[in-house]
Amino acid sequence: MSTFLGMPGHLRGVESFPRAAHRGLTNATQRHNLTHATTTIRDKRAAVVAELDDWQELRAAGSAIKRDVLARLPELLEQFEAAVTARGGIVHWARDAAEAGAIVTDLIRATGETEVLKVKSMATQEIALNEQLAAAGIHAQETDLAELIIQLGHDTPSHILVPAIHRNRAEIRDIFLAGMPGVDPDLSTEPADLAEASRVFLRTQFLRTRVAISGCNFGIAETGTVSVVESEGNGRMCVTLPQTLITVMGIEKLLPTYRDLEVFLQLLPRSSTGERMNPYTSLWTGVTPDDGPQEFHIVLLDNGRTRALADSVGREALKCIRCSACLNVCPVYERAGGHAYGSTYPGPIGAILTPQLTGFESADDPNGSLPFASSLCGRCNEVCPVEIPITDILLELRHRKVTEYPPVPEATMMQTLTQLWSHPRLWNAAAGMVALGRVLGGRDHTITSVPGFLGGWTSVRDVAVPPKQTFRQWFAGSEAQHLLTAARRGAEGEA
């Protein structure tokens, strides 16, 4: 992942999906890790979803609530701002990644701190907040176990929910030994021991650090309530112990009413970790005297969301609640791995969300390859808890890509064919030359490698040699004419 054209962010890789996927496909360890993890979580999800006989009704309600949010966004955002402000919070607005980074940097500088804690958050990953803060001399310590593994290993996340899904326990042990100060050199590979090591490492930081940054799962317009849904308790630590809390929230993360949580707190845990409920959910509204941070800021982030909103088909992607169920069922994700998508958002949702947030900047923009990173099998549509029609949006984006940037070789070929098909003589001459391709077949009359840009066709299959003559040549010849005459006679005889 890289920054692009000066705008900070992790929304665009450096190479197209097919190229990047090749590396994932040849990484046997990663493929093994991913197969194990996605199979496990698919089964868990299926079991807890089957427990609810009103699952489809919950999905329909979740989708309808999110559509309602998208249709009334200005009104709900202003209602949310007013509610947060009334309860002692401070609301900031950021058009893009750089503006959000500058706001957060200034807020931290105002506290005089140079070390902050972070709760895992997709929005802050998307805007490369850690890198922006580092450039300003501020260290952001990740506290989620998987994010910690990524940070210590100088790696990038490859999954929405489990960013280190591509790592196994032995790799994680090695990362901890190399990067975690004061870690026991005899650390085992048992997940419980690895979790304990992270508890010890982070405990003093939780108790010492005065500023924390979080994302937000749901912001309630009616009340100004903000929520963090998590498992480990690092989120609770970050939203409770520091003096100052800064939350970065995408503008689409709103829910109209507090009651709407009854839908999403059923949909999200079962879809993401396959649990009936996640261990901890924190809900807070502004500032509460004698309880938690006494200074609370929330940054409302656009960063391309309004671009997605302008598309009547693609806007449905903004309903996403970042559960990652679509990643876990996707045959393409399972094999290619999350890094191949080059974005904070991998998998099926990433293939539709990323290009919409960034747009296509050129004919060979890596994000232009993402809508094609799918077999359109449709499993993602079925598991999505808010009924995002992922494959419909993939097709829409494919259409948009080739409309905006028609592929040059294809356009040239089509023009040439138009000429040939409108001039029978030219066509006959050209078709006659195809027989020359027989020389490629050699003795066994099989072509194993085609030259030039058509070479991709023969990289995984052989081609039969072309016939000695075309149908039109044969038809004009004596054999065909004999047959025709005989057939006519026969027909007359019967009559």
Partner 1 sequence: MSDAKDAILRRIRDAEAQAAAAPEGRVARSYRTSTESTAGQRRELLIDRLLDYRAMVREATPTELPATIAAVLSEAGATRVRYAPGLDAALLARFDGEALPDDPSSDPRLLDRVDAVVTDSHVTAAATGTICLQAGPTNGRRALTLVPDCHVCLVRDESVVYGVPEMVARLDPLLPVTMVSGPSATSDIELSRVEGVHGPRRLIVILVHPGPPEATPG
Within residues 84-103, the interface with partner 1 by CB under 8 A covers 87, 92-95, 99, 103
Give me the amino acid identity at 486.
A
Q: How many whole angstroms separate alpha carbon 331 and alpha carbon 328?
A: 8
Binding window for partner 1 (CB under 8 A); candidates: 285-293, 368-376, 380-388, 414-422: 285-293
Site for partner 1 in 210-229 (CB under 8 A): 220, 222-223, 225
Q: Could you give the string, one character per residue 158-197, with x where binding to partner 1 holds by CB under 8 A and - elsewhere?
A: ----x-xx--xx--x------------------xx-xxx-
199 counts as binding partner 1 under rule CB under 8 A: yes
Residues 68, 318 contacting (CB under 8 angstroms):
no
275 near partner 1 (CB under 8 A): yes
- 108 lines the binding site for partner 1 (CB under 8 A): no
Q: Which of residues 303-332 bind partner 1 (CB under 8 A)?
A: 306-307, 309-312, 315
- C-alpha 141/C-alpha 242 separation (Å) is 14
CB of 464 to partner 1, least distance (A): 47
CA–CA distance, 1 with 350 (Å, rounded to integer): 14
Nearer to partner 1, 292 or 359 (CB): 292
Q: Which stretch binds partner 1 (CB under 8 A): 63-71, 376-384, 436-444, 459-467?
A: 63-71
Confirm if 70 and 318 have CB atoms less than 8 A apart: yes
Helix or strand run (H / E) with residue 493: helix 478-494
Euclidean distance between CA atoms 299 and 101, whole angstroms: 10
Q: Which of residues 132-151 bind partner 1 (CB under 8 A)?
A: 143-146, 149
Instruction: Please state the closest distance from residue 423 (CB atom) to partner 1, in A.
Output: 43
- Asked if 262 touches partner 1 (CB under 8 A), the answer is yes
Does residue 234 bind partner 1 (CB under 8 A)? yes
* Strand bridging mode 280-285 / 225-230: antiparallel
Instruction: Return d(Cα 76, Cα 188) in angstroms, integer.
Output: 50
Tell the smallest beta-carbon distance from residue 388 to partner 1 (Å).
Answer: 15
User: Pick from 21, 49, 84, 263: which binds partner 1 (CB under 8 A)?
Assistant: 263
Beta pairing, strands 254-255 & 280-285? unpaired
Q: Does 373 bind partner 1 (CB under 8 A)?
A: no
The span of 1-9, 60-68, 384-392, 424-432 binding partner 1 (CB under 8 A) equals 60-68
Please report which residue ranges of 359-446 form alpha helices under DSSP H.
Answer: 379-383, 390-404, 408-422, 424-434
CB closer to partner 1, 284 vs 333: 284
**392: contact with partner 1 by CB under 8 A:** no
Spatial distance between the Cα atoms of 107 and 15, rounded to a whole number of angstroms: 35
Which value, in Å, is the radius of gyration of the alpha carbons in the chain? Answer: 29
CB of 344 to partner 1, least distance (A): 17
| CB nearer to partner 1: pick between 62 and 350 | 62
SS3 of residue 277 by DSSP: coil
Query: Is residue 132 within a helix (H) or strand (E), and if so which, with residue range?
Result: helix 129-135
